[in-house]
């Protein structure tokens, strides 16, 4: 495990082993593996169990791949073209909570979908793959080319691939920084009783 990933307190190693590489082998991902990764997302918790997350997936080399890759900005395309699959992560902005007869705005759609994407990422890690989320993509293009209705948010695109030890396919500027990153100290993000975080 990387030096930059030494925990302050014991945690399951999967949390440290998950990271977001950009050097991928480009090998084909079995459909069953991809569906296992998505299955993990399915079991995430959500407000009123509304399950607002939706995923549109494409495997490299299939007809669905090109339109998803085209939504990424130039920087993300430069490395994500070597991924094995792309997922567009959507969330339903409305839902039917218990007792409601009409769809209501769901203020937790993004929060819950964040939990779901991480479940998928951790499942990918446990299967020997990596998932790398991206905000650098064209939401309007994704919405129009994938037929996403207005009552769904387009939250992120995720590249899934197998880590490559060979960084030569990466643009030069990216090679040196394709490593696991450190984190803020725990005291900077968690405080007992009231707002007050140590910087
Ligand atoms: C919502 C979100 C958007 C991100 N957008 C991008 C992106 O557009 N391009 C990119 O290369 N990495 C992107 N990342 C990856 C982050 O830079 C990365 O998760 C962060 O540096 C922590 O590193 P780690 O995931 O390796 O632990 C994004 C991550 C998240 C969760």
Residues 21-45: tens digit of each pLDDT: 999 999 999 999 999 999 999 999 9
Within a domain: residue 147?
Answer: yes
Within a domain: residue 68?
Answer: yes
Within a domain: residue 56?
Answer: yes
Atom of ligand 1 nearest to the CA of 155: 1
Ligand 1 centroid from CA 175, angstroms: 16
Residue 111's pLDDT band (boundaries 50, 70, 90)?
Answer: very high
| pLDDT given for residue 147 in this prediction | 98
The angle subtended at Cα 99 by Cα 97 and Cα 102, nearest 5°, is: 65
Q: Cβ(2) to ligand 1 under 6 A?
A: no
What is the best residue among 73, 134, 154, 157 to mutate for testing ligand 1's pocket, by most ligand atoms within 8 Å of CB? 134
- Give me the domain span that covers residue 125: 25-164
Is residue 1 pLDDT above 70, yes or no?
Answer: no
Residue 194 burial (C-beta neighbours within 10 Å; 0-12, 13-18, 19+)? exposed
The residue written with tokens 């490559």 in the block is 164
Cα separation, 186 vs 183, in Å, equals: 8
Within a domain: residue 70?
Answer: yes
| pLDDT given for residue 40 in this prediction | 99
| Number of domains forming the structure of the chain | 1
Q: Cβ(19) to ligand 1 under 6 A?
A: yes
Within a domain: residue 73?
Answer: yes
* Ligand 1, atom 9: closest residue by C-alpha: 134
CATH assignment at residue 43? 3.40.109.10
Q: Cβ(142) to ligand 1 under 6 A?
A: no
Residue 127 burial (C-beta neighbours within 10 Å; 0-12, 13-18, 19+)? middle
Within a domain: residue 196?
Answer: no
Residue 9 burial (C-beta neighbours within 10 Å; 0-12, 13-18, 19+)? exposed
């Amino acid at each position: 495990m990387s030096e930059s990933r030494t925990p302050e307190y014991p945690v399951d190693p999967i949390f440290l082993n998950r990271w977001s590489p950009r050097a991928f082998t480009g090998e084909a991902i079995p459909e069953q593996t991809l569906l296992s990764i998505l299955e993990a997302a399915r079991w995430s918790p959500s407000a009123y169990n509304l399950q607002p997350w939706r995923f549109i997936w494409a495997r490299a080399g299939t007809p669905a791949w090109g339109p998803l890759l085209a939504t990424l900005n130039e920087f993300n395309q430069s490395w994500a073209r070597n991924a094995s699959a792309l997922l567009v992560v959507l969330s339903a902005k409305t839902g039917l909570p218990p007792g409601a007869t009409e769809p209501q705005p769901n203020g937790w759609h993004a929060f819950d979908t964040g939990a779901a994407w991480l479940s998928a990422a951790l499942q990918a890690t446990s299967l020997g793959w990596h998932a790398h989320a991206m905000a650098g993509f064209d939401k309007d293009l994704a919405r129009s080319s994938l037929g996403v209705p207005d009552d769904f948010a387009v939250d992120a695109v995720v590249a899934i691939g197998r880590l490559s030890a060979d960084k030569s396919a990466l643009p030069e500027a990216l090679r040196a920084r394709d490593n696991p990153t450190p984190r803020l100290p725990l005291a900077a993000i968690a405080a007992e009783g009231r707002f007050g975080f140590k910087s």
